[in-house]
């Protein structure tokens, strides 16, 4: 079974982002970029499936500018066999991403697609579910454990009240939550090896997919900042403040 993994290039999660002064967005020039952390978990899960003999090939796909090749190379350093870049300079929103991924799925015919549950830049948490709907496949969103069976799989999902197990008929789409696994670090020899793995580029325009953004960003601004309060000296002072000043207990 072939597994397709979608990876997104985002601002590194350690970077404290800055809103542009003209309120058109967030500063991304000269900022450290990295693979979306949830997508790293997705890649790791696919690679483990291959190592366990349950997957035959892991294909990493990313969408966007040529800079996304870096993200695909990183996926290959983690163990993906080859990569596909669906290239465009256009701003891509989740619906367009899902449509481009659908086109890629139709071309590659994988038995399973794994994505991160959300990207830490736009925090949309939509693409995997949208892709599943467009393919008319079942989905296991927010997966914290998966067990592949014969033609089906069990997915333990993180839900608000705890955990939920669902059974999906394959092919299916999975989105990775934090505790699905702990991704490995890319070792130097594997980073070198990844440079030689095949990476194909497809022009997004040739897929015939409508990429037009449906949401117009009117402005991006900073949320109101909290002011640091006071440091209390003791527990009794704290309780006194909470009772008599803040009046919350």
Partner 1 sequence: MTILVIAEHDNEQLKPSTLNTVAAASQVGGDIHLLVAGHNCASVADSGAKIQGVAKVLLAEDSHYEHALAEELSILVTGLAENYTHVLASATSVGKNFMPRVAARLDVAQISDVVGVESEDTFVRPIYAGNALATVQSKDGIKIITARSTAFDAVDAEGGSAAVESLAAGGAYGQSSFVSQELTVSERPELTSASVVISGGRGMANGENFKLIEAVADKLNAAIGASRAAVDAGFVPNDYQVGQTGKIVAPDLYIAVGISGAIQHLAGMKESKVIVAINKDEEAPIFQVADYGLVADLFSALPELNEALSE
Contacts to partner 1 from residues 7-26, by CB under 8 A:
11, 13, 16-17, 19, 26
How far is residue 61 from each of residues 26, 149, 152, measured CA to CA in Å? Answer: 25, 25, 24
Q: Which of 197, 241, 162 is nearest to 58 (CA)?
A: 197
* 248 near partner 1, judged by CB under 8 A: yes
* 57 vs 164, beta carbon nearer partner 1: 164
Check residue 166 and report its DSSP letter.
E
Q: How many CA atoms lie within 13 A of 244 on its CB side?
A: 6
User: Is residue 33 a contact partner of residue 62, using CB atoms and an 8 Å limit?
Assistant: no
Find the binding residues for partner 1 in span 27-46 (CB under 8 A): 38
Q: Is 209 in the site for partner 1 (CB under 8 A)?
A: no
Shortest distance (Å) from residue 149 CB to partner 1: 12
Least Cβ distance, residue 146 to partner 1 (angstroms): 13
Q: Distance between CA atoms of 58 and 15, rounded to whole angstroms? A: 30
Least gap, CB of 138 to partner 1 (angstroms): 4
Among 62, 71, 118, 181, binds partner 1 (CB under 8 A): 118
* Closest C-alpha to 118, from 33, 28, 8, 44: 8
Residue from 65, 91, 106, 163 binding partner 1 (CB under 8 A): 163
147 binds partner 1 (CB under 8 A): no
**What is d(CA 242, CA 249) in angstroms, rounded to the nearest whole number?**
6
**Nearest residue (CB) to partner 1, 3 versus 92:** 92
Supply the minimum distance, in Å, between the C-beta of residue 173 and partner 1: 10
Within 87-116, which residues bind partner 1 (CB under 8 A)? 93-95, 98
Residues contacting residue 9 through CB under 8 Å, at least 6 positions apart: 33, 34, 35, 36, 62, 64, 67, 68, 70, 71
Check residue 181 for interaction with partner 1 (CB under 8 A). no
Q: How far is the C-alpha of 131 from the C-alpha of 138, rounded, in Å? A: 10
What is the residue whose two structure tokens read 């079974």?
A: 1
Binding residue for partner 1 (CB under 8 A) from 1, 82, 90, 166? 166
* Binding footprint of partner 1, residue count (CB under 8 A): 78
Region from 43-51, 69-77, 84-92, 232-240 binding partner 1, contact rule CB under 8 A? 232-240
DSSP per-residue string spanning 46-101: HHHHHHTTS-SEEEEEEEESTTHHHHHHHHHHHT-SEEEEEE--S---HHHHHHHH
Which is nearer to partner 1, 98 or 148 (by Cβ)?
A: 98
Kindly state the smallest distance separating residue 81's Cβ from partner 1, in Å: 28
Least distance CB 220 / partner 1 (angstroms):
5
The Cα–Cα gap between 191 and 185 comes to 10
Shortest CB 236 distance to partner 1, Å: 6
């Amino acid at each position: 079974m072939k597994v397709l993994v979608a990876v997104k290039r985002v601002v590194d999660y350690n970077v404290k982002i800055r809103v542009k002064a003209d309120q058109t967005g967030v500063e991304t020039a000269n900022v450290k970029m990295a693979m979306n952390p949830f997508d790293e978990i997705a890649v790791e899960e696919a690679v483990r499936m291959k190592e366990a003999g349950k997957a035959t090939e892991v294909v990493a796909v990313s969408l966007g500018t040529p800079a996304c090749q870096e993200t695909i190379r990183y996926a290959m350093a983690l163990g993906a066999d080859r990569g596909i870049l669906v290239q465009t300079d256009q701003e891509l929103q989740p619906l367009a991403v899902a449509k481009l991924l659908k086109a890629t799925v139709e071309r590659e015919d994988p038995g399973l697609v794994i994505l991160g549950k959300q990207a830490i830049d736009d925090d949309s948490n939509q693409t995997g579910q949208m892709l599943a709907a467009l393919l008319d496949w079942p989905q296991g969103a927010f997966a914290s454990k998966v067990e592949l069976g014969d033609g089906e799989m069990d997915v333990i999902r993180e839900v608000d009240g705890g955990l939920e197990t669902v059974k999906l008929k394959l092919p299916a789409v999975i989105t990775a939550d934090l505790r699905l696994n702990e991704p490995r670090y890319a070792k130097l020899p594997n980073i070198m090896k990844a440079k030689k793995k095949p990476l194909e580029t497809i022009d997004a325009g040739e897929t015939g997919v409508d990429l037009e953004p449906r949401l117009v960003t009117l402005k991006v601004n900073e949320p109101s900042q909290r002011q640091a309060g006071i440091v209390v000296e003791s527990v009794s002072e704290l309780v006194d403040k909470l009772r008599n000043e803040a009046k919350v207990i």
